[in-house]
Amino acid sequence: MTPNQTLNGRYKVIRSLGEGGMANVYLAHDLILDRDVAVKLIRIDMQDDESALRRFQREALATTELVHPNIVGVYDIGEDHGLNYLVMEYVDGENLKQYIHDNFPLDFKQIIKIMKQILNGVETAHLHGIIHRDLKPQNILIDKNGNAKITDFGIALANEDSSFTKTNSVIGSVQYLSPEQVRGHVATQQSDIYSLGIILFEMLTGKVPFEGESAVSIAIKHYQDQVPFVRSYDDRIPQPLENVVLKATAKNQMDRYSNIQEMSEDLDSTLNPERASEDRFVAGEQNEETIVLDQAEIDQKLNTFTPESGDAKIRYSTNNKVNYPKNVPQKESHRPKHRHPIRRRALFTFLVMVAFIGSILIAFKLSSPRMVNVPGLTGMTQNAATVKLSKSQLGIGKVTKSASNKINYGSVIATLPTAGKSVQQGIKVNLEVSIGPNSFDTDNYVGGDFSSTKKQLEKKGFTIKEHQIETTKFDNGRIISQSVVAGQVVVPRVTTITFTTAR
């Protein structure tokens, strides 16, 4: 599509908003209702793809009945010269993934506010019997007023529809995929709840819980690994808020919230003082069952793992029994009998086990990442902090700017993870850097030394200039007058003071 092209004489294309694997999205103007809309158009090379068309139609059917302020509305569906399109509400903003990147770290109250809106939208879908199955920050839009709206119901599934469970494909985005979806099982409300827990994890930490070299390796981690504690990234996160993440992302669906309302009510009270001493949530024990997956690639990868071995390449099978023929007479051995064969066999087995365990411990020690403590950086300049982090084999993460009445301009206010926290060598540490105080009462600097005054004020964020004049009334380098009068309240980072000095 090109700008100014019109669909069915009604939707005039303005510009592209984004391109995807199945469809492209454009900003358009509805010439009849005089409003901007978003038009999703199946890509030309996908117009004859039956699965793409079914997904497209599924999204239209799923969302036309979902009218809610936190769900992107669908206005129209049509076809023009063989081009299938969907007309949707236009949200002027950015997706949650980009919003987290641009605004991290987010205030806890803001996180709860956004999360509540997302939960409200998902609850409406669930009440209509629709499971989203692909909840992720990229499918949640944040408008200019900070309101969240869920989009992309292209793989949404009605509760009674089991057609997708008969295929060999894993549906959903792997970074936010529930363990049961990894195994190819039918998605449930609890599957969406798991994805919401991962989204909350990312809002709190700025990261996804599991990374890997491939989609398969990440999927395996979702199936077998515990989601990390968010408080290990930032111990300022309230325990009740961490507990919401842990309960939502429990491996067993029975340990998760029974529905969205229960999760929403729990989230509501996470900042209440009476919950401040709450213990960490612990899910029930998992059943040790043999898992058989339909997905060929994931099955092959999972068979190199055991629940206890982590990344150890140990193959296992459920068919290790050897069937011996029955009623076959055993030949009598003519070998001489040795004394204490059981004792020798036990000793040999013991030595083998010791060697085996020892090799595992050595391998674990060698492969384990080295842990280091985050150094104290408060009060240091950003450059000095960078050097100190480098000496500790740590990197610089995101740098945010904040006003501070106590920390000088350009110096570190705080770090995330916090100072003293034990972390893996090589991780990036986020810095909060001072932009000086928001306001400052200007002193009377007349008669003072210009050099020392300049250094003092530049630390506060002021821009300092000097104008020298010949005089015998003041010693060289002394301040004769100042451009900002004493007692005037100013914002240092946007204020320039010019001093007239003697020479």
Binding site feature residues for ATP: 40
Q: Which stretches of 34-171 are DSSP H helices? A: 50-64, 96-103, 108-127
121-125's contacts with Cβ under 8 Å and 24+ in sequence apart are 121/68, 121/70, 121/71, 121/148, 121/149, 121/150, 122/150, 122/192, 122/196, 122/260, 123/259, 123/260, 123/261, 123/264, 124/66, 124/68, 124/70, 124/71, 125/62, 125/66, 125/71, 125/150, 125/153, 125/156
Walk across the sheet containing 463-469 and list its strands: 463-469, 496-502, 479-482
**C-alpha distances out from residue 352 to 94, 312, 316, 320, 355, Å:** 59, 19, 20, 21, 5
Per-residue burial over 278-290, b = 16 or more CB atoms within 10 Å of its CB, e = otherwise = eeebeeeeeeeee
- Smallest CA-to-CA distance from 312 within 224, 227, 251 is with 224
Check: CB of residue 114 under 8 Å from CB of residue 148: yes
CA 430, CA 105: separation in Å to the nearest integer? 9
Interhelix angle 189-205/239-248, nearest 10 degrees: 140
CA 239, CA 243: separation in Å to the nearest integer? 6
CA 122, CA 200: separation in Å to the nearest integer? 14
CA 251, CA 231: separation in Å to the nearest integer? 19
Which active-site residues does the annotation give? Answer: 134
Which residues, 6 or more positions from 20, have their beta carbon under 8 angstroms from its beta carbon? Answer: none
Question: How many C-beta atoms surround the C-beta of residue 153 within 10 A?
Answer: 26
- The two tokens of residue 113 are 């506010």
Question: How many C-beta atoms surround the C-beta of residue 3 within 10 A?
Answer: 12
CA 159, CA 206: separation in Å to the nearest integer? 32
**C-alpha distances out from residue 125 to 63, 128, 168, Å:** 9, 5, 26
